[in-house]
Amino acid sequence: MSKRISNISRKTNETAIEVSINLDGTGKFDVKTGIGFFDHMLEQLSKHSLIDMVIKAEGDLHIDGHHTVEDIGITLGQAIKQAAGDKIGIRRYGHFDLVMDEARSSVALDLSNRPYLVWDADFSAARLGEMDTELFQEFFQALAGAGGLTLHITNICGSNNHHIIESIFKAVAKSLRMAVEADPRTAGKIPSTKGKL
């Protein structure tokens, strides 16, 4: 497999985003979005997927976090899609059931190039730190759309909102790690009967 790295920039009237990733990294991260809690979640995504991530964002946070969170999802999704390339020799599918204290979340994903999000998670708090909890769904919707991911996210149980969302991000990370990994039994082959993903 050749180096699976990408660098994507996105600039609009609302945000300026820079994302660099290495799918074959060690989980090193440098994340600065201007939203502390979101930084923490993106760091979890990098650490537990073993995907090196540099994410720099400037957004119209004087309005709210929506544009910044959504545009990071778009840019990170594009970076993952670009780095994965033709997807020759990867596992393609990933799934993980993850617990964090009382919270448990399940994620399944397919690097199918057929974007779709199933979101089954609720929060009892409107905000975590300075981040609106409704923006987590927006982030994963943007990630799935731009990354060509079929992504199913289910929070099974939990009472602490921090634990709930962190268990989701970690489960997505572990699933993504599995999906982008090289499968030695399918080396040189596309993991699809279509011959293309």
- Report the CATH number at residue 107: 3.30.230.40
Q: Which residue has the higher pLDDT, 16 or 194?
A: 16
In this prediction, what percent of the chain has a pLDDT beyond 90? 95
Which of 164, 103, 101, 108 lies closest to 133 in space, CA to CA? 164
Residue 77: pLDDT over 90: yes
Residue 187: pLDDT over 90: no
Residue 196: pLDDT over 90: no
- 133 domain-assigned: yes
pLDDT-wise least confident of 62-71, 131-140, 181-190? 181-190
Distance CA 140, CA 137 (A): 5
Residue 68: pLDDT over 90: yes
**Domain that residue 60 falls in:** 5-184
Q: How many domains does the chain have?
A: 1
- 191 domain-assigned: no
DSSP-assigned states of every residue in 45-91: HHHHHT-EEEEEEEE-TTT-SHHHHHHHHHHHHHHHHHHHTT-TTB-
Say if residues 108 and 178 touch (Cβ distance below 8 Å): no
